[in-house]
Every structure is written in C-alpha cells, then in structure tokens.
Structure 1
Amino acid sequence: MAVVEDDVQTNAASSRRGLAGASARRLVLRRVLLAPAILLAATFSVFVMVDLSPHDPALATLGPFASAEDRLRYAEEHGLNDPLPLRFGRFLVALAHLDLGESLIRPEPVIELISRALPVSLQLMVLAVTLAVVFALVLGVLAAWKEGRWIDRVISGVAALLHAAPDFWLGLLFIQVFALGLGVVPSGGYTPPSAGFTPWLSSMIGPAVTLALGSMAVLTRVIRASMADELARDYVITARGAGLSWPVVLFRNVFRNALITPVTVLGIIVGSLISGAVLVESVFNIPGMGTLLVAGVNTGDLGVVRGVVIVAAAAFILANLVVDLLYLALSPKSAEVSGQ
C-alpha cells in the first residue's frame, strides 16, 4: 500500500513539473511573440512624435535662408506632404531593410551614424550594469546580514543619497575629484578597446561609475529588503540550527529565492540607464547614442532623432525580454500564475 502511495505521489509530482514546464514554455512563447508588437507600437509612437515636431526637415537641409518655393519642392520630392499612414508604411518597408533614412545635416545614412555610436553606448551600458549589480549584491547582502546595525544604516543612508543625486551632478563631481583633482582618469573623451584595455577602461570608468551609482543605490535597497525578508524565514533558522554554515545557507537557498524581486527591478533599471546615458555621455563627451541624440535635437536632424530613439526602444524591449526569461528561470512557478 505504501508503495502504491509513493508511486501516486511521484506521478503527481512529475505531472506538476510537466504542467509547470508547459506553462513556462507557453509564457516564453507569448513574451517572444509580443515583443515585435510592442516594438511596432513604439516605432509608430516615435514616428508620430517626430512628425509633430516643430522642426522643418526642409529648413534643416536647405538652410535658414531657403525660399518657400525651395522648401515646398523639397517636401514634394521627399513625400513630406503625403498622408501619415503612407509615410509610415514607407518607413516600415525601409526599416525592414535596416534603412533609417538619411541624416538631414550630415551627408551620411542614419544607420551608419548609429553603427558607430551604438557600440560605444553598449560598452558603457554593460560596464555600468556590471558595476551596479556587483556592488549592489555585495552591499545589499551585507546590509541584510547586519540588519539593524551601524553598517546597515550607513549603507542604507548612502544608497538613499545616491538615489536622489542627479546623474549629471555626479558626473561633474567625479570629473572635479578624480580627473581635475587627482588626475587619475581623463576628464572626458573616448578611447576604443583596440588601443588597449587600460586606456579604454580609463576613458570609460568615469561615465560608467556615474551611470551606475543611481541604479546601484536602487538595487542595493531592493536586495537588502529581499535578503532580510528571506533570512527571517523558518527554513533559514532551521538550517542554521542544524549546523549549516552561512555560505551554504546563502548560496544554496537564500540567494536564489531573494534574487527574484531584484531581477524584476533590473528591467526598470535598464530603462533608467538608457535615459541617463544621454546626460552622462554629454558630460564626459562620449560619442555614443546619447551624444548623437542631443546633436540631432540641437540641429533639428529629425532622421537621426527618430533612428536613435527607435534603436533605444528596441534595446529596452530586448533587455526586458531577457529579464522576463531570467525571472522565469529563477521562479518557474510564476509561469503557472501568469498563465491563469
């Protein structure tokens, strides 16, 4: 009889795992299929907002002294007077061929300008995310482990201050202290990785640290709260009472369970990093997507503005898709809840 009950329990457990796996696969497929629809909606929104801009493409191309006849001829030749759906349809066809149009100011296609700026911004983003995650993990776990003590209060206080500080102010402060004061890093500019790892890191560490500080502060507070909640659970007290060491308890159970909430916050943090990069790149004179966007806005180069924003939106959607998949990997049971 006991054998039969064991078989029933084993089959029930296998059935639950199978259902959870099927739910996870359906949810993953749904998220993957939903991403292009979200990107299409974002692209349409960007196209409409740029179309409603007060900047005149004909004026930006021909110059401020162009006659009304020349501007009208330019608009007719480039289809600027066509209905919005027709213009958006042409834009989508071109976008499918990776054609974002021509820059109105520079004699180059927009895609070539972005192809030079995007790798620089990606390097900055990867370095900033790495710094934010590593330091947030260390500080968040330490604060939770020493909950209520002075080190917890210091870490929480510093995190609150960094969260409130504007990125551009932190960037200027970094330049003032480490570049102009101590002279350990350059005050701005970009050195490609091909020139060597040390020169590249010297040029990128300032903007990366500046960009990472605010996100690190948010992530530290989230990890601290999540870890403190998990460390107070009964299974942790039982494991410690059974003689298991802190490293074993932390890395075998607590860490995995406590990271579920911070991972969901990471998607929002990526969005804040993308928007913060605009100011940080301008402060440190980094030739990335943010600098390209600011130049496009200042000169009325609507093709560049539209292209940069669409690529940034695609990067944000892709990053959030990766975060969603990581969340499902950490918490497969969430697929069952989401699928209901």
Structure 2
Amino acid sequence: MSYASIQASQQLGKWSGQATYSISRFEVEFVPAPFDFLGSETELDEWAHSLALSLSRPISETLSMEWDFAGRDGFSNYRSVWLDTYFAQHFGPLEGVPGHELYQEVTPSALSATGGLRWQYLPASGMVTLSLTQVQEEVSPGYEIDFDGIRRSELVLATTAMSLVAENVLSPRLRSRLALTASDTSARQTRYSAEFALNAALAEKWVWRNTLGGSREDPQFDAYFFDTAVEYQVGERLSLYLKARRYRDTGEIENALLFSTAAPGLRNDSIGGGLRLVTENWSCHLSATHSRSDYEQRPGNTDFFQNLYRDDDWLSLQLAVSKAF
C-alpha cells in the first residue's frame, strides 16, 4: 500500500478551517487457497481518493463548536479489495442460479459528518468535547449460496457514533486524555470503546507518551491495545523517538452461515522509530516501523480465506513534509 496527502489550513475571521486531500493505492496479489478451483491468481491495482474538511468557531470564551465532513471514493483497506475479488470470481459467473441478480459490482464510497461542542472548563488546563458522528458507507458486500440460491449481505452501512473526550493538564509535567465512544452500525450490536493517554515530561529534553485502549461488542468481540513512545529533543528543531505497540482481539463476529469472511483472533506487535525536524516554515517527519501479525487457528469455515488471514511481518516507511505559508 502507498499513501499520500496534502493539507491546507486557513483562518477567516473567527472561523478556523483545514482541508485534507488523500490518495491511497492498494497493490494486491490475489492468491486463492490451493483447493479453491474457482479462484485464479490475479494482480490488483486499486486507488482510493479522500477529502476531509474541518471547521471550528468560538461561541464564547470557554465554548466553541467544531464540524468535520469527509468523503471517500474507493476501497478503505487491503482486506476489502481481496474479498471483493474473491466474490467476483466465485459469484459473478453463476448466471442462472437463483439469486444471481443480487450480485453487482460496487465501487465502495463513504460520507461522514461530525458536529461537536468543546468546553474549556479550566483555563488552558481542562477541556471536554462532546460530538456526534453520522457515517453512510456503500460497501462491497459478501455473498453465500445454499439450496435456496445466492444471498447477499448489506450494501449500505449506516453508523451513528457519540464520543466524549476530556483533556487535562494534571501538572507541569503530566497531560492526560480520556476518550469514550459508543457506535451503532447497521445489523450489528453497539460497540463501546475507551482510550486513555498520558504524556509525561521526564526531563527537560525527554517525553514519554503512553496510550491504552479497548473495545467491546456483543456477543463475542473484545480488543485492546497499548502504545508507548519515548522522545528526545536533540536540539531546538530536531527530535528523535522510539515507539512500540501491542494489539490483541478475539476475532470479528461471525457474519455468515456456511463460511465466514470474519477475521480470526489477531495478535499484532510493532516497534519503530523516527525523527522530526521543525523550522519556522517547514516541518518533516521520517519514520520506520516493523510489524508482525499472528492470527489464531482458523475454524474450517474460513479455509477459503487462509491467504488473506495469514501470519505476516512487514516494514512500513513514512515521510511527511509540511510548509506554512
């Protein structure tokens, strides 16, 4: 996967605005399971374009409103591209089978809008934000077949989410952030998430950043993660950091009767480092991260997706450059 973005900010009177355009490229080598005689190897090249707009305006000295709007045209991740190809190869050719009219090629897209209020209840040291988000997403659906013919999953997913975020300066050396979120998506139970971050200034040039979070959704999904990073300020403009992350989940909730596209339980660990260079008008961020994913033993109804949910490790490189005008 490759990714690039460009961002612009502007102040117009009391309004602050920021626009971001992003482009992603998914280069996927689709390889079916060895016993899958209907599937065939193919090289995929998919592009996705995204545009986001953020606006904020003070209402009073302690209260401000925030708005975020975003749109995406294309797939959101590698997994979606892989599954879309699988279903196209297996269900697209089944003309004459009952329910084949349900099959259709879809270009995924999404629209979202968020409105929120931020209250600064302690000057420069304590604030809380309450926001509501609505997402409408057209997805590439899943299919299955039985004696009654072909069945299709949801084409459009609607999500409503509410979040509460509290940020506090606990002392001259400690800053915290607590985020609580509840999200409701079509045909699913409500998912609850919590995240707590604590940043500590260990010394004049040393900062330690930590984040702990988790999610739960009935009937059987649990996930948690922990991030930690140590940053050293080399000089006035240059800083170096090391980071590590651990993620665990119990696997996605089953979504089919005969075979399932739901991912098994996942263990992911990553470690990396980078540098930041900031000048009066320019900033640069360069990082490298090594990650390893280990999936739990798959049940029999996910055998067709063994090449999608396979243990793997990879190296990610990122370069970000920005300029203030």
Larger Rg: 1
More strand by share: 2
Q: Tell me which of the two structures has the higher relative contact order, counting C-alpha pairs closer than 8 angstroms and 6 or more residues apart.
A: 1
How would you bin the TM-score normalised by the shorter chain? under 0.3
